[in-house]
Amino acid sequence: MSPRNLLNDPAWQGSDLGQPLPDFPHAVSVALPRWRDVIAYEEKDPACRDVLQTIYPRFGLHPLIRKLVQPSELEGTTVWPYPTEAAARAALAHCQRKAPDDHCELIAIAGVSCLRSNAAASPHAKAFWQHTGLGLSSRQAAIALGQEAPPTSEDGEAARRAIRQRLADIHGVEPDQISLHPAGMAGLHAALTAVQSLRPGRSTLQLGFPYVDVLKQPRVVFHGGDLLQPQDLAEVEAALDQLEPAAVIVELPSNPLLRCVDLPAVSAMARARGIPVIADDTIGTGINLNALPYADLIFTSLTKSFAGRGDVMAGSLLVSPQSPWARTLLNAVIEVAGLGDADAIALDIASRDVEERAPQLDAHALVLAERLEAHPAVERVLHPKDCPNFRTLMRSGAGHGCLLSFELKQGRQQAQLVYDALRVSKGPSLGTNFTLACPYTQLAHYDELAWAERCGVAADLLRVSVGLEDPDELWMRFQQALDS
């Protein structure tokens, strides 16, 4: 049977709950087609969790990984596999820092380095797994289980060279400025490790409402992280002087509000104080934005628009050649766990059309944003086109990325009805070639909805990653849901 074509046959109905998105063994998203499915997932309802055929890889153990480690999970323990011994040792060190009196140990399963933790230490082991993205991939698990053949190391290295060159061409840098990692958060882990060479032992400063793990990784795994949603540059300057952070972290644009800070001004203030800037360009993409003059380190989730298929986890870290600390940072970047051979080959193949595909996604997202703005049921649309600071960074002829968010005038009740009626695939992640929607705040901040509301992120906000569907046909689906 051929895989399901999510462009014209989306996973949007209750019967689709738990289906992998896309319909492949290594899918990184899973169908949560109704609002109540999202709530059941967050509440850990067994009736929901038991039918999930996969899970976003950093949020839990993929079924292939579960199959690999389950026989080694003694009563009251959990096992977390890593692609290298160095990554497993980093996880062990984290657990020993957080829970020195609890028991953790390194074990090997089918040649894979794993951390086994007791019940008390397991929350710390899970946090490290989720926030850093350094864990074993589903392809690596399939190989360890003997279910897939391992590629040659030569083919893997050729794929990594091709990916680095593709990224280098997009950004206009040399390939040796770029390192590859098993997830976007692993790219951030490498960046946070590198800035320790300049400003050891300090916390970071995040500007703007953050993607959850971009804030939590420095807070949980490193030396802390402060969050500031500045109203003006004077607030930023005061925070830099008061906190003296290890680095400033920004998203280009932020998720899900899709706004940017004044990066040139922030960079000038930070660099004058010896503070590097770390930027996440996953949503805006290097195809659209030139952040190199202002960001010292740029990390990207290549899982998203770069790959486009939604079935491979990967990340990158770019050291800007225009950074005053370029050589120091480049020497300090450590690949605790590089991008594995099988994942590199899949990513190379998936990303070959990125410079043609990404502008299409961007154009389709812009059309949908403009049409949503004109619909009487819509309260507001969030899209980078409305952010002057985003426009300042845009390359000539660039787009705005594939993501938008919107709120409805009648609030939560209407949002639930529209979400349930919307005939697009629904689940976490973004950047896929098929449209993917989710009630973002419910998924990312279910246990802190009031805090998110205070930060300007509505509990009933709907986030949409726009795909390659015909824009008119896609609008018809949205219009029908809005009018239902």
pLDDT tens-place string over residues 411-420: 899 999 999 9
Q: Which one is the CATH code of 14-53+354-483: 1.10.10.10, 3.90.1150.10, 1.10.240.10, 3.30.365.10?
A: 3.90.1150.10
Quickly state the pLDDT bin for 192 (edges 50, 70, 90).
very high
Quickly state the pLDDT bin for 1 (edges 50, 70, 90).
low
* Cis peptide bond prior to 22, omega within 30° of 0: yes
**Is the pLDDT reported for residue 459 higher than 90?**
yes
CA–CA dist 136, 148 (Å, integer) = 15
Distances (CA, A) of 138 to 81, 86, 123: 11, 19, 22
**Is the pLDDT reported for residue 483 higher than 70?**
yes
Mean pLDDT, residues 101-130 taken together: 95
**Is the pLDDT reported for residue 423 higher than 90?**
yes
Asked if 405 and 441 touch (Cβ cutoff 8 Å), the reply is no
Is-same-fold flag (14-53+354-483; 63-144)? no
What pLDDT does 121 receive?
Answer: 94
Asked if 280 and 263 touch (Cβ cutoff 8 Å), the reply is no
CA–CA dist 238, 231 (Å, integer) = 12
Using a CB cutoff of 8 Å and minimum separation of 24, what contacts does 160-169 make? 160/338, 160/339, 160/344, 160/348, 162/348, 163/302, 163/314, 163/316, 163/339, 163/344, 163/347, 163/348, 163/351, 166/351, 166/352, 166/354, 167/286, 167/300, 167/306, 167/316, 167/318
Domain ranges (residues) in the chain: 14-53+354-483, 63-144, 153-350
**Is the pLDDT reported for residue 352 higher than 60?**
yes
What pLDDT does 335 receive?
Answer: 84
Q: What percent of the chain has pLDDT over 90?
A: 97
| Burial tier of 120 (Cβ tally within 10 Å: 0-12, 13-18, 19+) | middle
* Residues contacting residue 49 through CB under 8 Å, at least 6 positions apart: 41
What pLDDT does 433 receive?
Answer: 97
The dihedral sign for the CA sequence 414, 415, 418, 419: negative
CA–CA dist 448, 342 (Å, integer) = 37
**Is the pLDDT reported for residue 2 higher than 80?**
no
What pLDDT does 207 receive?
Answer: 98
CA–CA dist 187, 184 (Å, integer) = 5
CATH topology classification for 153-350: Aspartate Aminotransferase; domain 2 (3.40.640)
CA–CA dist 382, 405 (Å, integer) = 5
**Is the pLDDT reported for residue 422 higher than 90?**
yes
pTM for the full predicted model? 0.97
Mean pLDDT, residues 16-24 taken together: 97
Average pLDDT value for the chain: 97
What pLDDT does 219 receive?
Answer: 97
Mean pLDDT, residues 155-171 taken together: 98
Quickly state the pLDDT bin for 3 (edges 50, 70, 90).
confident
CA–CA dist 61, 460 (Å, integer) = 28
Q: What percent of the chain has pLDDT over 70?
A: 100
Query: 204-261, pLDDT tens digit by residue?
Result: 999 999 999 999 999 999 999 999 999 999 999 999 999 999 999 999 999 999 999 9
CATH 3.30.70 fits 63-144, yes or no: yes
The dihedral sign for the CA sequence 108, 111, 113, 118: negative
CA–CA dist 143, 216 (Å, integer) = 31
Quickly state the pLDDT bin for 32 (edges 50, 70, 90).
very high
Task: Find the farthest-apart pair of alpha carbons in the chain and give their distance in angstroms, rounded.
Answer: 61
Mean pLDDT, residues 451-466 taken together: 96
What pLDDT does 149 receive?
Answer: 98
What pLDDT does 414 receive?
Answer: 96
